[in-house]
Structure 1
Amino acid sequence: MTTPRLVEVTVDNVEDACELKVAKHQRDYVAPVAVSLAEAYVQHDVAWPRLIYAGKKLVGFVMAAFDPDNPTEYYRTYLWRLNIAAKHQKKGYGRFAVEAVLAEARRRDAESVTVSWMPGKHSPGPFYERLGFRPTGEMDEDEIVARIQL
């Protein structure tokens, strides 16, 4: 695996970001990057969108929300979105992205990070659980909420 790095979204890379595609069977479980960037635009005060590069190659996208005053506790420090390009999965880039979000949360003095997922055959739940997230018993609409303590 080429050492990955996070890069801010800019005018120079936004088109490539919007073209990033997850595996076909995952498309019902995660919004496209373009939708995430639109959400980040309208919630710019809390959204933390980053592109994942391995060398010069775009391999993924991750977005967190840092909103310590949110009335819904599990949205205060939240792993909002993770998209790894289909041909770059199973190479450690997803783990890298989650660990980068956890590091940013620690830098901001958060005590935990939450994530949510839709249950189903191709759900990302097992991936997040392998990284240490544990279901809280809460649901966000039809999604399972999980937390990792920092």
Structure 2
Amino acid sequence: MSTENVKIVELNADNWYDCCLLEVSKDQKDYIEPNAISIAQSKFEPTLKPFAIYAEEKVVGFLMFNSIKEELDGYWVYRIMVDKEFQGKGIGKFATQLMIAEMAKLPNAIKIVVGYHPDNLGAHNLYSSLGFIDNGDRFGKEMAVIKNITE
């Protein structure tokens, strides 16, 4: 499966249920909420922007970010996941790059922040490979890493 056919599409009536059916691997379940909870959250917090991740016209993942700045004066990534059957193919990294490009369009976008549990090595490897830096910021049990999108 090539990443050239990966795209992100705003959540809609045609793809929301497919996103609810997606699952992460067993060892990732402790680190991420089910997509159905994230989708419900987006309906009560309208600044959250949920997207389906497609690969070759099939829904294979889900992501969500906030369209207003929060802590650390940045826009926050709330969720990103790829179904367990499609992991390890570069889809998550490519979709994250697409998400960063979308977030860069937000007003006064200077930095993007994502929080994750320090034991989540998959998240750590993904974000560090995309230039996110750990400046030591911690929020509860999560570490927050930052990517500057303007130099």
Structure-1-length-normalised TM-score: 0.90
In 1, distance between residues paired with 2:136 and 2:97? Answer: 23
In 1, distance between residues paired with 2:96 and 2:122? Answer: 16
Q: State the secondary structure of the residue aligned to 1:51.
A: strand
Could you tell me how far 1:92 is from its partner in structure 2?
1.4
The aligned counterpart of 2:130 is: 131
1:104 aligns with 2:106: no
Q: Which amino acid letter does the alignment assign opposite residue 51 of structure 2?
A: R
Q: Residues 25 and 122 of structure 1 are in contact (CA less than 8 Å); yes or no, is this contact kept in structure 2? A: no
1:88 aligns with 2:89: no
CA RMSD after TM alignment = 1.5
Q: State the secondary structure of the residue aligned to 2:113.
A: strand
Deviations 1:50-99 (A, max 9, x none): 0011122111011111213x4x335x401110110001011111112211
Q: Which amino acid letter does the alignment assign opposite residue 19 of structure 1?
A: L
Matches within 5 A, 1:38-53: 38-44=40-46, 46-53=47-54
Q: State the secondary structure of the residue aligned to 1:78.
A: strand
In 2, distance between residues paired with 1:14 and 1:133? Answer: 29
Higher helix share: 2
- Segment drifting more, 121-130 vs 13-22: 121-130
Q: Residues 8 and 49 of structure 1 are in contact (CA less than 8 Å); yes or no, is this contact kept in structure 2? A: yes
In 2, distance between residues paired with 1:105 and 1:12? Answer: 23
Q: State the secondary structure of the residue aligned to 1:27.
A: helix
Could you tell me how far 1:12 is from its partner in structure 2?
2.2
Aligned length: 146
- Segment drifting more, 47-56 vs 101-110: 101-110
Q: State the secondary structure of the residue aligned to 1:41.
A: helix
Percent of pairs with identical residues:
30
Structure 1 residue ranges without an equivalent (≥5)? none
Q: Residues 31 and 120 of structure 2 are in contact (CA less than 8 Å); yes or no, is this contact kept in structure 1? A: no
The aligned counterpart of 2:12 is: 10
The aligned counterpart of 1:25 is: 27
* Structure 1 ranges of 4+ moved more than 6 A: none
In 1, distance between residues paired with 2:44 and 2:7? Answer: 25
